[in-house]
Chain A
Amino acid sequence: MADNRWGLWSAIAFVLIAAAIGGMIPPYDTGLLTQMLIYGIFAMSLDVLHGYTGMPSLGHAAYFGLAAYVAAICSLKLGWGFEAAGAAGIAASALAAALFHLLALRTAHSYYLMITLAFSQVLWSLAVSWTDVTGGDNGLPGVLRPQIGSWSFGSTIAYFYFALAVFVVSAAMLYVFVTSPFGYALRGIRDNEMRMRALGYHVWAYKYLASIVSAAFAGVAGELYMYLNNFVSPSALSVTVSAQVLMMILVGAAGTLFGPVLGAGVFVILQYVLSTYTDRWLFVIGVIYVLLALYAPQGALIYLRDRLKARQRRSAG
């Protein structure tokens, strides 16, 4: 139980530095920074399931894309304002998780991995084939960025600050969540479900709520992403997106909030740098996955920390 003052100060510093940098760099780079924040929320949301609760999901894009679609449809086809459309999208993701997990929680480890994958693919195929509503492969273009009262977040820089605000609120909420008694129970479930039951925990209820919370924040990220691009297409629901967000966690450290955010940053930079030199992006992701699986299945940061500790022990002994 570390009451971590350093963590709080470095988080504040991180936000201030990000806010300052975002205002100074060229718009394109501000866009990249916005992407990092969005993926940061997305990766944290998955880590609630993957890292904290031990529920390995390969279909987290389902909630990311669903919220984006619902918000886009509500504002484009129903003419709803930003607040209502945004809330509807997040609610849709939470509701989808609530319904889906009535089934999914009946299954254990490996089944869960496959069934989440199947679930996200079902939504993906719906998005592709239900053209009347989703626009099919073309997706839904032309969603305007948020306008709250007289505040417009249409410009790149304004939208960056909007995303930063949402990021700060989301991160704070998730921080309370994972350091709450509930969050401790999730870690217990990850390590030893049977003991949790014997201690008197209703394990199912914890997993159920965790999956809904995780889906809601994935939805937040999905909507931010949709507004960033003014556009959503089936690729937001694809397994590639699910695999990428999992990779962000593993590039950082599973079971932390900081790790996935760092991983998201590294991911965006990597994608940007590589896409200027090569179009073999899939190959690179594949190789990174193989390396992570072989050497750092808990995350690259954890691997580095363990190596460092081992070295210290050697030099001490």
Chain B
Amino acid sequence: MKPLEIRALSRNFGGVRAIADVSLALDSGERRAIIGTNGAGKTTLFNVVNGQIPPSSGEIFLFGENVTRMPLHRRATLGLARTFQITSLFRNLAVIDNMIIAVQALTTAHFVFWRRLAHYREVLGRAEALLEKWRLTEFRHEIVRNLSYGTQRQLEIVMALAGNPKLLLLDEPMAGLSAAETHLATDIILNLDRGITVLLIEHDLAAAFKIADRITAMDQGRIVAEGTPEEIRQEASLQKIYARGGVRHE
């Protein structure tokens, strides 16, 4: 059973085809990177898979279940989590509160309004443990909007991990990070449990080649190449795309 399978997926905006006839399948535990220039349709693909926008045509399967018309909050209950390219946190809440909200989402506690959260030791404990594990404990009482950008990006990933996802979509986790921070973020992703399947969009090709088992290249809404990092390096057609698109090649 594939964690994610996409069949002939398309999405139009007005007359523009943001993604066209994209098919893709991930193996369990696979790390897959999607590369491509700006406007290649990578983020749109994420938004459709995640359920934020409906596809114009095609089908999506999560762990064998057809989720094409499933609302996004229910996709999360199947084990799908994602991060956002533009940091998407609870800016006016403390780091620990961000984690609590992320942790309790998929527990039985999440709709309880007749009992204080303080009674849910397991939720609090797991939130603290995650902060500890990803070295964010020192910031636990900081309000998120006051954190450095790098720390916010880190929290962005850790929050996606809070619900024990089986499939993780990472939308440009390194965007805007310094070299040292990129290194740290790469480490976080490399150290993820192998039980988690990871699909990531990455502009930083060096990082993408380091993390991914396989790479899918997109251009103008279509998949133009797919293979191991070695195979992709050899692919002549990609050189042209990158020459045209002018993407950073670090």
Interface size class of B (residues with CB under 8 A): 35 or more
How many residues on A have C-beta within 8 angstroms of the other chain's C-beta atoms? 30
Looking at the complex, which of A37-45, A185-193, A261-269 is the stretch in contact with chain B? Answer: A185-193
- Complex CA gap A196/B102 in Å reads 8
Query: B97 at interface (Cβ–Cβ under 8 A)?
Result: yes
- Cβ contact within 8 Å between A181 and B72: no
**Per a CB cutoff under 8 Å, which of A181, A196, A199 touches B120?**
A181
- Complex CA gap A176/B88 in Å reads 28
Give the residue name and chain of the B residue nearest to A194 (CB). B88
Query: A152 at interface (Cβ–Cβ under 8 A)?
Result: no
Query: B199 at interface (Cβ–Cβ under 8 A)?
Result: no
- Cβ contact within 8 Å between B110 and A201: yes
**Per a CB cutoff under 8 Å, which of B72, B93, B114, B116 touches A187?**
B93
Looking at the complex, which of B57-65, B77-85, B200-208 is the stretch in contact with chain A? Answer: B77-85
- Complex CA gap A183/B104 in Å reads 12
A187, chain B: closest CB distance, angstroms: 6
- Cβ contact within 8 Å between B113 and A1: no
- Cβ contact within 8 Å between B82 and A179: no
Give the residue name and chain of the B residue nearest to A188 (CB). B101
**Per a CB cutoff under 8 Å, which of A1, A191, A198 touches B92?**
A191
Give the residue name and chain of the A residue nearest to B120 (CB). A181
Whether A187 touches B97, Cβ cut-off 8 Å, given contacts A180-B116, A201-B105, is yes
Query: A184 at interface (Cβ–Cβ under 8 A)?
Result: yes
Looking at the complex, which of A67-75, A202-210, A222-230 is the stretch in contact with chain B? Answer: A202-210
A175, chain B: closest CB distance, angstroms: 8
Query: B106 at interface (Cβ–Cβ under 8 A)?
Result: yes
Q: What A residues does B50 contact at CB under 8 A?
A: 198
Whether A188 touches B90, Cβ cut-off 8 Å, given contacts A197-B72, A200-B73, A200-B77, is yes
A259, chain B: closest CB distance, angstroms: 15
B144, chain A: closest CB distance, angstroms: 9
B35, chain A: closest CB distance, angstroms: 23
- Cβ contact within 8 Å between A199 and B113: no
Question: Which of A195, A196, A197 gathers the greatest number of chain B CB atoms within 10 Å?
Answer: A195
- Cβ contact within 8 Å between A192 and B91: yes
Query: B124 at interface (Cβ–Cβ under 8 A)?
Result: yes
- Cβ contact within 8 Å between B110 and A185: yes
Q: What A residues does B114 contact at CB under 8 A?
A: 176-177, 180
Q: What B residues does A192 contact at CB under 8 A?
A: 88-91
Query: A3 at interface (Cβ–Cβ under 8 A)?
Result: yes
Q: What A residues does B92 contact at CB under 8 A?
A: 190-191
- Complex CA gap A92/B30 in Å reads 55
- Cβ contact within 8 Å between A1 and B97: yes
Query: A295 at interface (Cβ–Cβ under 8 A)?
Result: no
Of residues 105 through 143 on chain B, the ones whose CB sits less than 8 Å from some CB of chain A are 105-106, 109-118, 120, 123-124
Whether A179 touches B73, Cβ cut-off 8 Å, given contacts A1-B97, A188-B101, A191-B90, is no
- Complex CA gap A84/B115 in Å reads 28
- Cβ contact within 8 Å between A198 and B72: yes
**Per a CB cutoff under 8 Å, which of B52, B106, B117 touches A184?**
B117
- Cβ contact within 8 Å between A187 and B73: no
Query: B217 at interface (Cβ–Cβ under 8 A)?
Result: no
Q: What B residues does A188 contact at CB under 8 A?
A: 90, 93, 101
Query: A111 at interface (Cβ–Cβ under 8 A)?
Result: no
Query: A281 at interface (Cβ–Cβ under 8 A)?
Result: no
- Cβ contact within 8 Å between B104 and A184: yes
- Complex CA gap A197/B162 in Å reads 14
Q: What A residues does B88 contact at CB under 8 A?
A: 192, 194-195, 198
Of residues 63 through 114 on chain A, the ones whose CB sits less than 8 Å from some CB of chain B are none
Interface residue ranges, B against A (CB under 8 Å): 50-52, 71-74, 76-77, 81-82, 84, 88-93, 96-97, 100-102, 104-106, 109-118, 120, 123-124, 159, 162-163
Q: Give 7 closest A-B pairs by Cβ, nearest first.
A: A200-B76, A182-B113, A191-B90, A199-B105, A188-B101, A181-B109, A200-B105
Interface residue ranges, A against B (CB under 8 Å): 1, 3, 176-177, 179-185, 187-188, 190-192, 194-203, 205-206, 209, 213
List 17 extra interface pairs beyond A1-B118, A183-B117, A201-B105, CB under 8 A: A1-B96, A1-B97, A177-B114, A179-B116, A180-B115, A181-B120, A182-B112, A184-B101, A192-B91, A194-B84, A194-B88, A195-B89, A198-B52, A199-B73, A199-B106, A199-B162, A206-B111
30 examples of A-B residue contacts, CB within 8 angstroms: A176-B113, A180-B115, A180-B117, A181-B109, A181-B117, A182-B110, A182-B111, A182-B112, A182-B113, A183-B113, A183-B117, A184-B101, A184-B117, A185-B101, A187-B90, A187-B97, A188-B90, A190-B92, A191-B93, A192-B89, A194-B84, A195-B84, A197-B52, A197-B76, A199-B101, A199-B102, A200-B76, A200-B105, A200-B110, A202-B74
